[in-house]
């Protein structure tokens, strides 16, 4: 046994031990739900189903003015309690818990808005304001458009907005990308020794299920319909929701006011005073009948709000936001190389990232994943072929012959593979199993990638979102078209082309004559 094999066996044993230990830890010591002194629950009948609405009540029972503050779906609702406690000096605050009971995380923002609007009708307090933080802003928008008569104002803090500025800017494409995250997270959750960390990180199953259920396609129209006073508070240092989102919401609601903060959004828990001061002054202004509603909006802003969305005004991302987006593209590329490059092209087309960043995000994961496939074939696949029963069916001479063919035609094979979906994994795996020389493989691989990735990203940026439809058709029929073309080409070379020579016609005639004689004898018998 070689030293490399010993290291591999030891590493595998250690990994298996840690994985079993991780499973045992999560089973024997599950994460306990911490008791919160503010938590309460109500019953609500919705679509003939009795739902439990869980929420945190901070002085809401003893105040004339009450604010319903909807939290982000990807973080614990407890994150907003410090802000609610500072607001409690002048108003009561209710924080609905989105990932529990009737507001569970696999329902859409529309349905959450409908449920909350019905629940608000049950509340005894009639001087109610509503606000939302990040994803909670979408739910607040849904809720107030269904219940404007009972809600006095809307406050949006770091709120998400229209579909065009969210990730790739298209509902269908965004949802397809989030669907790719399901197998990635599932493999990480059950195949990696994380000891429960997978449930606490932000990109967890709650995030994925919420993203899959989210629909922002109608948010632009809802924003134009809002008539109550609106205040938008947004940090310019938010790496997840760019300031362009707040600027677009401000444009679509002509009577809204906008406050941009330099403080980081995670300080809303550790130092919420910057946010609470703005919220309190706004609520006080509305309660004193000094809030600006749609009837008081200027004609210039109303006309501006009716204009269609323009991507030309979007600035490129930078810093942490850019790094997060590139990391997300790398993760996508580990699942689908075509989708990653199309996503990169769409991001470049929207103006959120430059071409060089789109290329980095698109190809980094591709290089890592494909070289790992080659290494798996070389160090794991080939030894398997040396043991029974595989060695009974695959002779060493066949392997050597295939390797010689791959080395002789490696460039053509790798370049063709790059443009044919579904063939890359088996070809790269076979290249490793056949122990083809690594450096020529790497050179051909990088050369084909250097042509394919920039071309796909550039074409996608030109064509835009319809590119997804084209690539789906290409992926669905490419193999069938190539197979049919190969059969026709083989038939043309084997049977049609020889007819152009005397020898070929003579051989074809002899074959036809033997077939005819054989058929005549069978008919006679």
Can you give the CATH number for the domain in which 112 is found?
Answer: 3.40.50.1820
In this structure, are 243 and 378 located in the same domain? no
Q: Does some domain include residue 513?
A: no
Of 260, 276, 306, the one marking the end of a domain is 306
Give the pTM.
0.71
185 and 204 Cβ atoms separated by less than 8 Å: yes
Domain that holds residue 300: 39-166+216-306
What span, in angstroms and rounded, lies between the C-alpha atoms of 499 and 494?
Answer: 10
Domains identified in the chain, total number: 2
What span, in angstroms and rounded, lies between the C-alpha atoms of 3 and 376?
Answer: 17
pLDDT of res. 235:
93
pLDDT of res. 124:
82
Q: Identify the residue whose tokens are 């936001």.
A: 321
Q: Does some domain include residue 285?
A: yes
Q: Does some domain include residue 12?
A: no
In this structure, are 367 and 284 located in the same domain? no
Distances from the Cα of 353 to the Cαs of 174, 176, 315, 442, in angstroms? 16, 20, 8, 28
The maximal CA–CA distance of the chain, rounded, in angstroms, is: 109
Q: Does some domain include residue 516?
A: no
Q: Is the peptide bond before 389 cis (omega within 30 degrees of 0)?
A: yes
In this structure, are 259 and 326 located in the same domain? no
Q: Does some domain include residue 45?
A: yes
**Residues 6 or more apart whose Cβ sits within 8 Å of residue 495:** 508
Tens digits of pLDDT across the chain (525 residues): 566 567 767 877 888 898 899 888 888 887 666 667 899 999 998 888 888 999 999 986 667 899 999 999 888 889 999 999 999 888 999 999 987 777 776 789 999 999 999 999 888 877 899 999 999 999 999 999 988 888 999 999 999 999 888 877 777 777 777 777 777 788 888 888 888 887 777 677 778 888 888 999 999 999 999 999 999 999 998 888 888 899 999 999 999 999 999 888 888 888 899 899 999 999 999 999 999 999 999 999 999 999 988 766 666 767 766 787 788 788 878 777 887 888 888 778 777 788 888 899 888 888 988 888 888 778 776 665 565 555 555 556 655 665 666 767 777 777 777 877 666 777 787 788 777 888 888 888 898 889 888 988 888 877 755 555 554 554 455 445 545 545 654 554 456 556 656 666 777 777 777 777 777 677 666
In this structure, are 254 and 338 located in the same domain? no
Q: Does some domain include residue 142?
A: yes
What span, in angstroms and rounded, lies between the C-alpha atoms of 99 and 209?
Answer: 11
Q: Does some domain include residue 331?
A: yes
In this structure, are 379 and 275 located in the same domain? no
Q: Does some domain include residue 325?
A: yes
In this structure, are 301 and 332 located in the same domain? no
In this structure, are 280 and 390 located in the same domain? no
In this structure, are 109 and 154 located in the same domain? yes
Residue 481 is classified by DSSP as H
In this structure, are 437 and 300 located in the same domain? no
What span, in angstroms and rounded, lies between the C-alpha atoms of 125 and 121?
Answer: 9
Sheet of 257-261: strand order equals 39-46, 49-58, 92-96, 66-70, 128-133, 151-157, 230-235, 257-261
In this structure, are 83 and 231 located in the same domain? yes
In this structure, are 430 and 403 located in the same domain? yes
What span, in angstroms and rounded, lies between the C-alpha atoms of 167 and 178?
Answer: 11
In this structure, are 298 and 324 located in the same domain? no
Instruction: Name the residue among 360, 364, 339 with its Cα closest to residue 421.
Output: 339
């Amino acid at each position: 046994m070689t030293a490399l094999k010993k290291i591999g066996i030891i590493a595998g044993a250690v990994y298996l031990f840690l994985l079993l230990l991780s499973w045992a830890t999560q089973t024997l010591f599950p994460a306990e739900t911490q008791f919160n002194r503010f938590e309460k629950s109500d019953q609500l009948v919705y679509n003939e189903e009795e739902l439990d609405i869980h929420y945190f009540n901070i002085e809401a029972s003893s105040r004339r003015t009450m604010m319903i503050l909807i939290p982000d779906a990807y973080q614990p609702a407890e994150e907003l309690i410090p802000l609610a406690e500072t607001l409690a000096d002048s108003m009561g605050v209710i924080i609905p818990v989105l990932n529990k009971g009737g507001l569970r995380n696999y329902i859409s923002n529309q349905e959450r808005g409908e449920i909350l609007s019905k629940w608000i009708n049950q509340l005894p307090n009639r001087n109610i304001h509503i606000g939302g933080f990040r994803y909670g802003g979408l739910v607040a928008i849904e809720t107030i458009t269904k219940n404007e008569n009972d809600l006095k104002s809307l406050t949006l803090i770091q709120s998400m907005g229209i579909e065009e500025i969210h990730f790739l800017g298209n509902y269908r494409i965004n949802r397809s990308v989030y669907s790719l995250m399901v197998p990635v997270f599932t493999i990480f959750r059950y195949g990696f020794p994380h000891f429960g960390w997978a449930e606490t990180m932000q990109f967890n199953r709650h995030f994925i299920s919420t993203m899959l259920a989210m629909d922002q396609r109608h948010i632009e129209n809802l924003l134009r319909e809002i008539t109550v006073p609106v205040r938008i508070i947004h940090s310019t240092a938010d790496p997840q929701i760019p300031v362009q989102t707040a600027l677009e919401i401000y444009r679509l609601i002509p009577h809204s006011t906008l406050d941009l903060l330099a403080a980081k959004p995670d300080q809303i828990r550790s130092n919420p005073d910057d946010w609470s001061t703005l919220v309190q002054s706004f609520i006080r202004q509305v309660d004193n009948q000094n809030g600006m509603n749609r009837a008081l909006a200027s004609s210039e802003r109303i006309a501006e709000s009716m204009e269609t969305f323009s991507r030309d005004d979007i600035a490129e991302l930078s810093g942490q936001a850019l790094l997060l987006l590139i990391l997300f593209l790398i993760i996508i590329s580990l699942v689908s190389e075509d989708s990653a490059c199309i996503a990169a092209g769409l991001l470049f087309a929207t103006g959120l990232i430059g071409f060089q960043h789109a290329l980095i995000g698109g190809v980094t994961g591709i290089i890592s994943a494909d070289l790992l496939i080659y290494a798996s074939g070389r160090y794991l696949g080939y030894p398997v072929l040396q043991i029974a029963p595989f060695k009974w069916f695959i002779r060493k001479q066949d392997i050597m012959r295939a390797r010689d063919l791959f080395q002789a035609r490696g460039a053509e094979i790798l370049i063709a593979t790059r443009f044919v979906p579904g063939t890359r994994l088996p070809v790269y795996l076979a290249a490793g199993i056949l122990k083809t020389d690594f450096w020529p493989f790497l050179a051909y691989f990088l050369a084909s990638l250097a042509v394919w990735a920039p071309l796909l990203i550039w074409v996608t940026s030109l064509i835009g979102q319809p590119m997804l439809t084209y690539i789906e058709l290409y992926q669905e029929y490419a193999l069938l078209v190539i197979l049919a073309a190969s059969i026709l080409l083989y038939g043309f070379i084997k049977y049609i082309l020889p007819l152009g020579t005397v020898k070929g016609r003579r051989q074809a005639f002899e074959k036809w004559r033997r077939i005819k004689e054989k058929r005549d004898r069978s008919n006679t018998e």
